[in-house]
Chain A
Amino acid sequence: MKPPKFDYHAPKAVDEALALLARYDGEAKILAGGQSLMPLLNFRLSRPAALIDLNRIPALAYIKEADGSVRFGAMTRQRTIEFSPVVAKRLPLLTEATRWVGHLPIRTRGTIGGSIAHADPSAEYPAVLTALDGEVIARGPKGERVLKPREFFQTYLTTSLAADEILTEVRLPAMSGVAGYAFEEFARRHGDFAIIGIAAVVVRDGSRCSMARLATAGAGPVPVRLRAAEEILEREGFGDDAIARAAAKAQDLVQPDADIHASSDYRRHLTGVLTGRAIKRAMAKAGR
């Protein structure tokens, strides 16, 4: 269980990394935090000609507030996000979701850009990106593209990043200070990948719901935004019946695959249960 041989490059700047990517013409892999790629290399499930390690590019690690959103350099560590006061204030959903990402020693190395570019559908960050309807910035030889989650996530471990592009930034719109939020997840053990995870954000106006955002982890090949369930809350408010109907709708909206961890039916069932719990917990936290 040792990685196969590869050329190793640790560029100091993004342009240098892009030039290397172009030179290897699709045969190189980007190494971010390495918490998914290194196991794949150790198992030799991946045999790239070269690794382009972004860990020596300090300009890719930052958390900045700008124009009502928070921008994360792709190499910002999950651990930094977990303890960031800016994130706790502007994106408390992300703070909560981060505690579900692996374990603390994994979050020491794991990055926001790496997790999103890896596009494991049961990972937490793609679900948060989808619930908050954020954006990712892809940089290539021809410049930058701004991609919404729906354009970015294609299927299991597959994104619309081109072979000569690097994900350089993640942008998440700051949450309203009165929004309630919850990240609910079920895994066999805390720290394992989610069997199902649900990200929820709601804004309440008395018993009415003026905005609801719901997205899944683990319920299909890409994160699913549960728009029809959100609409039930926005139309009917936060009564027990409305929440039950939204949860039932969530269950209908997903078509999870079965795997060694869970059957499709079980995942669908969990989607409903966890959506209901997430809405209730988010609602309880919402101001007004």
Chain B
Amino acid sequence: MADKSELVTVRMKVNGVQHEGRCEPRKLLVDFLREDLGLTGTHVGCEHGICGACTILLDGEAARSCIMLAVQADGAELQTIEGLAQNGKLHPLQQAFHEHHGLQCGFCTPGMLMTALDFLRVKPDPSEADIREGISAVLCRCTGYQGIINAVKAAAPILRRG
């Protein structure tokens, strides 16, 4: 399909907007989002699928964009942190993180929010233990997690009501 230095065309819908770019097949999805589409809200952390900072929603499900190739997302629908707030109004999950001190430096926050969003769809009424397990997919080095757990707990009933 594509030899080493040949460029491939990649088309994807990100936050409802259709994008197209050309890149090498080895380009990671997270780098494509940041460098080719200018969507720098998704962060590059460990680059080997451990820290969760680069988590996005791929066709509605959380996935790590540093261990996926951009060409693999050709034809997919993505949601990134940039798509959460609507018309300048924070998403209820973002609002909960704001109110409950769910972030300090903010580096893990995009991945934490996308992970929590997927988690709350799968488990709309989670126990605290469920939340701890759910967010263990993302590493945070500032908050000690308690604020994040409180934020997810507070957001759950709001998201359940829709």
Q: Is the CB of B68 within 8 A of A104?
A: no
Q: Is the CB of A5 within 8 A of B49?
A: no
Q: Is the CB of A7 within 8 A of B137?
A: no
Beta-carbon nearest neighbor of A37 in chain B: B67
Q: Which of A38-46, A121-129, A211-219 contacts B (4 or more CB under 8 A)?
A: A38-46
With a CB–CB cut-off of 8 A, which chain B residues contact A173? none
Select which of B25, B62, B69 is within 8 A of A105 by beta carbon: B62
Verify if A142 is at the interface (C-beta below 8 Å from B): no
Q: Is the CB of A42 within 8 A of B24?
A: no
Q: Which of B2-10, B88-96, B148-156 contacts A (4 or more CB under 8 A)?
A: B2-10
With a CB–CB cut-off of 8 A, which chain A residues contact B26? 2-6, 8, 41
Within residues 22 to 68 of chain B, which ones have a CB less than 8 A from any CB in chain A?
24-26, 28, 31, 47-50, 52, 55, 58, 61-64, 66-68
Q: Is the CB of B137 within 8 A of A191?
A: yes
Interface residues on B, range: 35 or more
Q: Is the CB of A35 within 8 A of B49?
A: yes
Cα–Cα, bound, A42→B30 (Å): 13
Verify if A260 is at the interface (C-beta below 8 Å from B): no
Q: Is the CB of A108 within 8 A of B61?
A: yes
Q: Is the CB of B24 within 8 A of A5?
A: yes
Main secondary structure of the interface of B (DSSP, over half): mixed
Cα–Cα, bound, A103→B118 (Å): 12
Verify if A252 is at the interface (C-beta below 8 Å from B): no
Q: Is the CB of A39 within 8 A of B48?
A: yes
Verify if A53 is at the interface (C-beta below 8 Å from B): yes
Q: Is the CB of A7 within 8 A of B31?
A: no
Q: A6-B25, A8-B71 are in contact. Are A191 and B136 (CB under 8 A)?
A: yes
Cα–Cα, bound, A43→B31 (Å): 16
Verify if B134 is at the interface (C-beta below 8 Å from A): yes
Q: A34-B68, A109-B68 are in contact. Are A104 and B137 (CB under 8 A)?
A: yes
